[in-house]
Structure 1
Amino acid sequence: MLNSLNVAQSGLYASKVAVENVSNNIANENTPGYKKRVIDQRELEHSDSRFYGRGVEASSAYRITSIYMSQNLIRETTRENYFIQKSEMLGNIETAFKETEDSGLSKDINRYLQAVENLRTSPTSEIYKSDLITHGSLLVENMQTIYGDIEKAEELTKASMQENIDKVNGILKEIGKINQQLGKSQMASNDLLDRRDQLELQLSKYVDISSEEFAGTYTLKIGDIVAIGNNTIIRDITVEDTYSPQVDRFLKDDGKTSSILDGVTFDNDDTITYKLNNENEVSIKFGEAIDTDGDGNPDFTVDETNYVRGLVSKINNDPELSKTVVAYNGTYSEKPDGSKVTKDTQDNFLLIEAANPGEKGKFEGRLTVTEQTDINDPTSVTSKNTVFRDEYQSKDGENSVQIFAFDAPIELRSGILKAQSENLTTSSPSNKFTIYKDKLDALAQTLSDITSKFVKTGDTTYIEGGISTDRYTGNQDDIVDINLFSGSSVNTLKFNSKEVNNLDQTKLDYLATLQWKTNISFEGKGQDTPGLEATSISEYFQEVRINVSSDKETSDFLLKTQKSVKQSVESSYDNLVKVDKDEEMLNLIKFKSAYTANAKIVTVVDEMLQTILGLR
């Protein structure tokens, strides 16, 4: 009978602990990261073979959780934040292209074209000339404003990325401290485990992570790189920027032979011209004496065996071109002091490298080889070839943003930092900043090209642009120079207002045709053979704006879809781990009843003992 009292007493204690646990669950219902607790109740071991037991024990409280569902939530959270960040960046780009009924680059293009048309009707009108200067200058200015806004969005993204790196390192340190505290106790503290889970979820917003705990050892990986190992060994992550220069190689597919004189016999009065950014140029002529070291004494006379070295000397000694590019006779090797040397015992191939590394050093260059029987006779040109760089063996200037843990690069698959790094790396196909800056550069380059030169071939037909006229083999005096715009990119684009006074009726008639031309090529190779995507100037920019809006809409749709997926996973996870007040109230009633029942047993046993004692 006394054993019954002990059993009932254990039931009272277990019910009391269970009620306290219910109370704690309800109190922490809205605590971030809190997972509901369940009391582990079990029967006390029997001390002998008798059929009745020794009661119940409330041994511990454990958290309700699921590693599988938790990892799913972390993964979907990472993806959601990737799309959030991407949508935000596209929103910044869309804002840069935003227009009103009265303002915007579309209006600037139309006003410029209308100003050309107005001046064509009255070429001597000072009012129309002033109007053209105003709208031509505004067109360049506003194009550069849009470009600058995109660059500002890049700079903000880069600053935000560094802040996010600092946040990630802060979270890793907090997890490390929690692991230290957990390591000091024999049993893991539920509140510390909750806090660590919450920190993992916060971390998953920035990077894709995975964690596991095996044999008491906690490991957390970012991507495939261990960020926390052996519980407390923490690797800070860093972001590193690398810049590589643009390199143009003018060579054949064999990777060794120059492509400049491919199929051309280079002899008397022939010239090779290198033009940079549709503005500055240098030329070498067969038989010209070249002074490579500037000592006043010619080092060699240009012929078919040394024309590459002649071009290298001319480019590197030109005061304008040398600010932007450096020319080499083939692939160079670097000395310990950083100087670059080439094997100059013979011609190799022309290599042009940007003077400044990265996207900022971007340039456009091309070669024109002119075969001519008499340098003084503009009708004696027998062939003209335009030579562009080999696209497969050349490379654009690159800005690369890579995240490291110590010396190990981290390949992220999702998260905020993934979206930011890929949109700051120019070679990434997902870089929307670069995509739309390149489209603006293509517009600027084409505008500069088609307004630089032309050849009239009929009453209303022309060879348009500097690139195409570079291949014109007729009377060279037929080539009409306009030079209204110059440059090969938005940053180098200029409106040459002084040339407005030189616009005669012939030039204005040509410029006016561009307003109606619907097969303008924006591929940077001239207007000879426009591709399938050729269009008008106005329609090209409208298509760019449509693409921006389409990209933003697609991104928002993907974000909306991912939010739904994440919310579904989160709802299932919350149903498992979060406190359900209705469920807890039922538990409260259940454990209260158990407590009352055990108290009743104590009362009954007490009455039985009183009865027995009263038998004396």
Structure 2
Amino acid sequence: MLNALNVAQSGLYASKIAVENVSNNIANENTPGYKKRVIDQTELEHLDSRFYGRGVQASGAYRITSIYMSQNLMRETTRESYYTQRNEMLGDIEAIFKETDTSGLSKDLTRYLQSIENLRSSPNSEIYKSDLITHGSLLVNSMKTLYEDIEKAEALTKTSMQDNVNNVNAILKEIGKINEQLGQHKIASNDLLDRRDQLELELSKYANISSEDINGTYTLKIGNVVAIGNNTVIRDITVEDSFTPQQDRYLNSDGKTSSILNGVTFDNDDTITYKLNNTSEVSIQYGESIDIDGDGTFETVDETNYLRALVSKINNDPELSKTVVAYNGTYTKNPDGSKTTNDLQDNYLLIEAKDPGEAGNFNGRIVVTEQTDINDPTTVTNKSKVYRDEHQSKDGENSVQIYAFDAPISISSGVLKAQSENLTTDSYNNKFTVYKDKLDALARTLSDITDKFVKTGDTTYIEGEISTDGYTGDQNNIISVGLFSGGNVKTLTFNEKNVHNLDQTKLDYLATLQWKNNISFEGKGQDIAGVNASSFSEFYQELRINVSSDKESNNFLLKTQKAVTQSVQSSYDNLTKVDKDEEMLNLIKFQSAYTANAKIVTVIDEMLQTILGLKR
């Protein structure tokens, strides 16, 4: 009977603990990161071979969780954060390109073209000349403003990325402190484990992570790199920038020989001209004397030293030397930072930007002119354009990478992935660079096509400086306009002084550009059929459409990913979150158990009282 009393007493205690646990679950229903607790009730161990039990014990409360579902939720949260961040950045770009009925680049372009048409109808009108100057300048300013706004968006993204990295480091430190506290307890605190899980979920918004706790040893990885090891060893992550300069190599596919004189015999009065950004150029002529090595000794330019002569001309030109440095082949870096080349012979032309990274990008090309008399413009026998080898050259690149203890972290998703790839120029998903390249192509083509032309018929022309580079007729037929100059948006300039030199012939040519719909924007002249040839207006409208299309595509992906994340979150919550209805049923169940055990105690007490009464 006394044993039965002990059984009932243990039931009372276990039921009381269970009721208190239910109350705690209900109280923490809305606590962030809280996972419902379940009381571990087990039968008390038998002390002998008697067949009846000794009661129940409430040995502790454990959390309801799932490592598999938790990792899955973090993975989907990372993906959603990636698309959310991209959506924010693309939204900023879309706002930059937004136009009204009276403002925007397309409106400025239309007004500029109309001002050309107006001046064409009255070439001597000072009012129309002033109008053209106004709208030409506004067109340049509008393009520069768009470009600068994209650069501002990049700068804000970079600042935000640094802030996010600081947040990640703060979360890592907090997880380390929790692990330190957990190490001070023999039994892990459920509250601390909940907090650590919540921090992991928050961390997963920034980058793809994985964690494991094996035999009390906790490890957390960001991407492929351990960020927390052995519970409390924390590696801070940093943002590292690297910039590489643009390098143009005029080289054959063999990787050894120069591509400048392929099929050309360099002799007589032939010239080789290097042109930079449609603004500056230098030339060397066969037979001229040049101090190639800068030692005061002059050498006669011929087919054996023309490369070194061209390198010398480029590096000593006051304009070109501000932007680029020329080398006779691949250079070797010395400990003091200087660069040396093998100048015992001509190798190949290497042009490198002075400013590293995207900011130093430039446009260059070479024109080889074969003629018998440099003083006679009708004696040109051949002109060939030479461009850099695209496979062996490279544009200036900006790279933004996440590091931990000098080890690069390869992340596949999350906020930091979206930001880093849009700040790294060679990233396939970099939209900032794509839009800026399109604007540069527009500026470069506008500069080229309004610079020079040759009239070949009543309404037919060879358009642009790059195209006239290949013109072998009487060079006096090449008419210089020079209305715009520059090789990209940053160097684009409207030369208003040349407006006063526009005659009827030049205006007739410029007027054809407003309805010309086969303009090539590939940067290799209008005599090369462009794959995506269009008009100025169509090219810019296509750019705006691409901006909106990118935003809509990302919206769709974000909406889809949100649905996936919500589904996983719902399944995870059903398992781990407090269900008030379920808890109320448990409360009724444990209250009934408490009442039943209390009834047993009461009955046994009455039986004992009866027995004691019999003895008297």
Fold shared by both chains (TM-score > 0.5): yes
1:496-552: CA deviation from partner (whole Å, max 9, x where unpaired): 000000000000000000011000000001001222310000000000000000000
- Residue 365 of structure 2 aligns to a residue whose secondary structure is strand
- Which amino acid in the other structure matches residue 468 of structure 1? S
Match of 1:414 in 2: 413
Instruction: Give matches, 1:129-140, under 5 Å.
Output: 129-140=129-140
Consecutive unaligned residues in structure 2, runs of 5 or more: none
- Residue 371 of structure 1 aligns to a residue whose secondary structure is strand
Kept in 2: contact 1:207–1:222 (CA 8 A): yes
The reply on whether 1:56 has 2:53 as its aligned counterpart is no
Match of 2:239 in 1: 239
- CA drift of 1:318 comes to 0.4
Whole-Å separation in 2 of the counterparts to 1:566 and 1:429:
26
- Which amino acid in the other structure matches residue 571 of structure 1? S
Whole-Å separation in 2 of the counterparts to 1:390 and 1:212:
50
Match of 2:612 in 1: 613
Match of 2:221 in 1: 221
Whole-Å separation in 1 of the counterparts to 2:298 and 2:46:
107
Whole-Å separation in 2 of the counterparts to 1:427 and 1:508:
41
- Residue 566 of structure 1 aligns to a residue whose secondary structure is helix
Whole-Å separation in 1 of the counterparts to 2:41 and 2:377:
104
1:38-73: CA deviation from partner (whole Å, max 9, x where unpaired): 000000011111121100000010000000110010
- CA drift of 1:298 comes to 3.9
- Which amino acid in the other structure matches residue 479 of structure 2? V
Match of 1:433 in 2: 432
- Residue 337 of structure 1 aligns to a residue whose secondary structure is coil
1:153-208: CA deviation from partner (whole Å, max 9, x where unpaired): 00000000000000000000000000001011100000000000000000000010
Match of 2:375 in 1: 376
Match of 1:262 in 2: 262
Whole-Å separation in 2 of the counterparts to 1:17 and 1:396:
70
Whole-Å separation in 2 of the counterparts to 1:451 and 1:50:
106
Kept in 2: contact 1:243–1:399 (CA 8 A): yes
- Which amino acid in the other structure matches residue 35 of structure 1? K
- Which amino acid in the other structure matches residue 421 of structure 2? E
- CA drift of 1:294 comes to 4.7
State the TM-score, normalized to the length of structure 2.
Answer: 0.99
Match of 1:321 in 2: 320
Kept in 2: contact 1:289–1:298 (CA 8 A): no
The reply on whether 1:41 has 2:41 as its aligned counterpart is yes
Whole-Å separation in 1 of the counterparts to 2:294 and 2:562:
67
- Residue 514 of structure 2 aligns to a residue whose secondary structure is helix
Match of 2:350 in 1: 351
Whole-Å separation in 1 of the counterparts to 2:294 and 2:207:
56
- CA drift of 1:407 comes to 1.6
Match of 2:496 in 1: 497
1:264-319: CA deviation from partner (whole Å, max 9, x where unpaired): 01001100000100000000000111113556x34311000100000000000000
- Which amino acid in the other structure matches residue 127 of structure 2? I
- Residue 513 of structure 2 aligns to a residue whose secondary structure is helix
1:434-462: CA deviation from partner (whole Å, max 9, x where unpaired): 00000000000000000000000011000
- Which amino acid in the other structure matches residue 409 of structure 2? I
Are the structure 2 counterparts of residues 298 and 268 from structure 1 closer, same or farther at C-alpha, using a change threshold of 3 Å?
A: farther
State the TM-score, normalized to the length of structure 1.
Answer: 0.99
Match of 2:80 in 1: 80
Instruction: Give matches, 1:480-519, under 5 Å.
Output: 480-519=479-518
Instruction: Give matches, 1:518-597, under 5 Å.
Output: 518-597=517-596
Q: State the superposition RMSD in angstroms.
A: 0.7
Match of 2:202 in 1: 202
- CA drift of 1:321 comes to 0.3
- Which amino acid in the other structure matches residue 521 of structure 1? S
- Residue 85 of structure 1 aligns to a residue whose secondary structure is helix
- Residue 135 of structure 2 aligns to a residue whose secondary structure is helix
1:383-421: CA deviation from partner (whole Å, max 9, x where unpaired): 000101000000000000111110211010000000000
Whole-Å separation in 1 of the counterparts to 2:224 and 2:531:
43
Match of 2:460 in 1: 461
Match of 1:291 in 2: 291
- Which amino acid in the other structure matches residue 423 of structure 1? N
Instruction: Give matches, 1:181-192, under 5 Å.
Output: 181-192=181-192
Kept in 2: contact 1:444–1:490 (CA 8 A): yes
Whole-Å separation in 2 of the counterparts to 1:10 and 1:158:
62
Query: What is the aligned-residue identity percentage?
Result: 78
Kept in 2: contact 1:243–1:357 (CA 8 A): yes
Whole-Å separation in 2 of the counterparts to 1:4 and 1:159:
71
Kept in 2: contact 1:245–1:357 (CA 8 A): yes
Whole-Å separation in 1 of the counterparts to 2:239 and 2:201:
22
- Residue 384 of structure 1 aligns to a residue whose secondary structure is strand
- Which amino acid in the other structure matches residue 87 of structure 1? N
Match of 1:179 in 2: 179
- Which amino acid in the other structure matches residue 60 of structure 1? G
Whole-Å separation in 1 of the counterparts to 2:361 and 2:91:
26
Match of 1:442 in 2: 441
- Residue 8 of structure 1 aligns to a residue whose secondary structure is helix
Kept in 2: contact 1:326–1:354 (CA 8 A): yes
1:76-99: CA deviation from partner (whole Å, max 9, x where unpaired): 000000000001111111111110
1:354-405: CA deviation from partner (whole Å, max 9, x where unpaired): 0010001010000000000111111100000010100000000000011111
- Residue 488 of structure 1 aligns to a residue whose secondary structure is coil
Kept in 2: contact 1:35–1:577 (CA 8 A): yes
Whole-Å separation in 2 of the counterparts to 1:79 and 1:181:
31
- Residue 528 of structure 2 aligns to a residue whose secondary structure is coil
- Which amino acid in the other structure matches residue 437 of structure 1? K
Whole-Å separation in 2 of the counterparts to 1:558 and 1:174:
33
- Residue 213 of structure 1 aligns to a residue whose secondary structure is strand
Match of 2:275 in 1: 275
Match of 1:25 in 2: 25
- Which amino acid in the other structure matches residue 487 of structure 2? S
Whole-Å separation in 1 of the counterparts to 2:79 and 2:531:
37
- Which amino acid in the other structure matches residue 292 of structure 1? I
The reply on whether 1:112 has 2:112 as its aligned counterpart is yes
- Residue 303 of structure 1 aligns to a residue whose secondary structure is coil
